């Protein structure tokens, strides 16, 4: 019996289209509880691999009653899911698919979404990493491009730019990332581009970079990128205004949450900076700026087209983190109600500093797990 398979790209497209998906996750309960495939119309059940060695009959009540319904099976790497998919077929389910590459492949998939045209020509694209909650960006104008907050899967950006005949001139990180390995420096070296990093986050890096400072301007074709120093998540965190239309907030402000200040061990020191950025610096900006963050936490933050973003004015109206009147309560919220820290975040920070040089498999293991950059 040959088990049918499906790629993570196809799964991503189904989720973005809002299709109903029924997924059987066969990893152990601890891994499943920590992190799983999510979406607005996704139903997931956890049936550990070792519990179905003799068949799926004990779990029939958890499965679709109509055996013609599609079932997608996922494991860690794509092996165990083939076995369980076969067991489901033996039990009479006729449309069962094993997800190729498992959760590792899901973690690495990038889904490009066009946000909009730029007012002076060109466009801005968002690369959605559904399995990790990471968001990165390409600004292109007149054949030139700038990449912001790229992931380590650099081939996706290179191929995307090549297909559209875009010459990448600049690669920028809004801050020194702690939850995923940046592809910025690698891309800059590969493409002969300038790599920008906020200098206050770069005091320990082991490589050369171009510092990006508050109010600096970067010209990309006919588009203008303006730097806005916005500390709080890190001391160097820098946002970027694109053509007075878009505000890339890095990990300082999200759609349904705000950035956490503790990933460099400086929560008490940086909470004041975070409040000043959110309650003073951003308040001076135009309400109609479309906020495009570097992460999202839950599928509910996604728009119907799969993008993540909304206006600054809407966030000030609805985001709880922007509406805490008491400074004492704000400080308590962002220092005492923090989620677990990202997996291997210290090693990831050191890798992004150039101090560690993990191989590809080690990098995958370091990044396994959900996005944990936010306070809700």
Active site residues: 75
- In angstroms, the CA 12 to CA 6 distance is 11
Spell out where 243-283 has E strands. Answer: 246-250, 258-259
Angle at 295 between CA 292 and CA 282, to 5 degrees: 45
CA atoms 152, 125, 298, 78: torsion sign? negative
- In angstroms, the CA 132 to CA 304 distance is 19
The tokens describing 119, both together, are 């007012």
- In angstroms, the CA 219 to CA 70 distance is 49
- DSSP state string for 17-68: TT--EEEEE-S-HHHHHH-----TTEEEEE--GGG-TT-SGGGGGGS-SSTT
21-25: strand order across its sheet: 4-6, 95-99, 70-74, 21-25, 42-46
The tokens describing 244, both together, are 């007075």
Are 125 and 113 contacting, i.e. CB atoms less than 8 angstroms apart?
yes
Q: Can you state the angle between helices 184-191 and 154-163, rounded to 10 degrees?
A: 40
Spell out where 132-259 has E strands. Answer: 134-141, 144-148, 167-172, 194-197, 210-211, 217-220, 223-229, 238-242, 246-250, 258-259
From first CA to last CA, the distance across the chain in angstroms is 47
């Amino acid at each position: 019996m040959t088990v049918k398979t499906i790629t993570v790209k196809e799964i991503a497209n189904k989720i973005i289209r809002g299709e109903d998906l029924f997924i059987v996750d066969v990893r152990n309960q601890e891994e499943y509880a920590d992190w799983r495939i999510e979406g607005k119309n996704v139903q997931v059940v956890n049936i550990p691999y070792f519990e179905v060695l003799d068949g799926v009959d004990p779990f029939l009540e958890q499965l679709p009653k109509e055996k013609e319904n599609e079932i997608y099976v996922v494991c860690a790497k794509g092996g165990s899911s083939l076995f369980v998919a076969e067991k489901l077929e033996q039990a009479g389910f006729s449309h069962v698919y094993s997800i190729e590459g498992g959760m590792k492949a899901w973690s690495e998939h990038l889904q490009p979404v066009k946000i909009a045209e730029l007012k002076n020509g060109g466009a801005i694209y968002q690369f959605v990493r559904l399995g990790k909650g990471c968001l990165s960006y390409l600004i292109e104008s007149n054949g030139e491009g700038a990449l912001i907050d790229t992931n380590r899967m650099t081939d996706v950006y290179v191929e995307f730019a090549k297909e559209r005949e875009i010459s990448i001139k600049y690669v920028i990180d809004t801050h020194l990332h702690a939850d995923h390995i940046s592809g910025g420096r690698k891309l800059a070296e590969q493409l002969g581009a300038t790599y920008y990093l906020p200098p206050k986050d770069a005091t320990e890096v082991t490589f050369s970079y171009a510092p990006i400072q508050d109010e600096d301007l970067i010209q990309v074709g006919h588009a203008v990128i303006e730097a806005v120093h916005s500390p709080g998540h890190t001391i160097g965190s820098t946002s970027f205004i694109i053509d007075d239309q878009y505000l890339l907030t890095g990990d300082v402000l999200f759609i349904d949450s705000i950035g956490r200040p503790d990933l460099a061990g400086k929560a008490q020191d940086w909470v004041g900076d975070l409040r000043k950025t959110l309650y003073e610096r951003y308040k001076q900006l135009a309400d109609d700026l479309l906020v495009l963050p570097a992460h999202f936490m839950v599928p509910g933050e996604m728009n119907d087209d799969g993008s993540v973003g909304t206006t600054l004015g809407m966030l000030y109206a609805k985001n709880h983190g922007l509406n805490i009147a008491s400074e004492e309560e704000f400080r308590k919220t962002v220092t005492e109600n923090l989620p677990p820290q990202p997996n291997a975040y210290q090693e990831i920070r050191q890798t992004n500093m150039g101090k560690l040089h993990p191989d590809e498999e080690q990098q995958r293991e370091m990044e396994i797990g959900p996005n944990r950059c936010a306070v809700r």
